[in-house]
Homo-oligomer: A and B are copies of this chain.
């Protein structure tokens, strides 16, 4: 278990996980799910795309839905602290022979598109169009009253390698799962930039693939309410796991699948992690309360299914260790 010290002065300053784009096959069906059911606000829409934000967000979008033949994810969006950080990031990735381009991205300023060594596509940007905060326009809070995007969770075929790479970029470990015994191996890691449990997490599995995005609600009752809404308005089958309390991160959670299978975690009540000397919390892979403090194991789909990145080959994980899975 080579856990490393955090890197206090990374090569460029990533602020936080910012947004994700989902390829969807039926935009109306996806709109019904995200807007009418979950309560997302529409910042912009065209024939082919829908730009969504949550009630607290002043960024133009944290979810983009784009009409597609097949579900996919083009890239994961991270905000950096300045335009200079973009240039430093481009240089850093280029130096490592990783792809570097600056595609035009609507509603955003300069956007660096690159990838990590597993091929996981990454977008970095500093400027995004700003929209009105709806935080104190309470009459517009609907559904789960989602406040903001919180984090991105991915499958990786090599957790140790992903952990090492993002540690170099300044991501700091808060919790991790490893196998037991003398030659313990990392099985999952939770890493942050913004000061709570995570901006980015990796789980051992066929990857790279997106496992889920996590979105923040103000409290557990908002999550119970959306359970009631989904269960009684045609979305029962979209409720994959929970509600429950994670041992890891202490979060109260619900995992739902959108009409194309993209996974969204509604999430609340983790904790502050800004202290640079915060000691990461270790969990054993076979601790049942790791997954769920209250004991219920996650279903098989939760461990196996994820969203593909556009055009990125997937590898089997190096580590064969298995968590506890619900029958």
Q: Which A positions have Cβ atoms within 8 angstroms of B? A: 8, 15-16, 37, 56, 58-59, 79, 81-82, 126-127, 130, 135-139, 141, 147-148, 194-195, 218-221, 224-225, 227-229, 231-233, 236, 239, 243, 245, 247, 250, 252, 269, 271-272, 274-279, 289, 293-295, 327
Per CB-CB distance, the 4 closest pairs between chain A and chain B, nearest first, are: A138-B228, A139-B233, A138-B229, A195-B195
- Say yes or no: B228 contacts A56, CB within 8 Å: no
Residue from the list B59, B136, B228, B274 in contact with A232, Cβ < 8 A: B136
- Say yes or no: B135 contacts A250, CB within 8 Å: yes
User: CA separation between A15 and B250, bound complex, in Å?
Assistant: 23
Residue from the list B137, B224, B229 in contact with A139, Cβ < 8 A: B229
Q: How far is the CB of A134 from chain B (nearest CB, A)?
A: 10
> What would 8 A/B residue contacts be, using CB atoms closer than 8 Å?
A8-B81, A16-B272, A16-B274, A59-B275, A81-B276, A82-B276, A136-B232, A231-B294
- Say yes or no: B15 contacts A274, CB within 8 Å: yes
User: CA separation between A289 and B138, bound complex, in Å?
Assistant: 14
Residue from the list B56, B82, B224, B247 in contact with A8, Cβ < 8 A: B82
- Say yes or no: B139 contacts A274, CB within 8 Å: no
- Say yes or no: B228 contacts A274, CB within 8 Å: no
- Say yes or no: B236 contacts A279, CB within 8 Å: no
Known contacts A274-B195, A294-B236; decide if A138 and B220 are in contact (CB<8 Å).
no
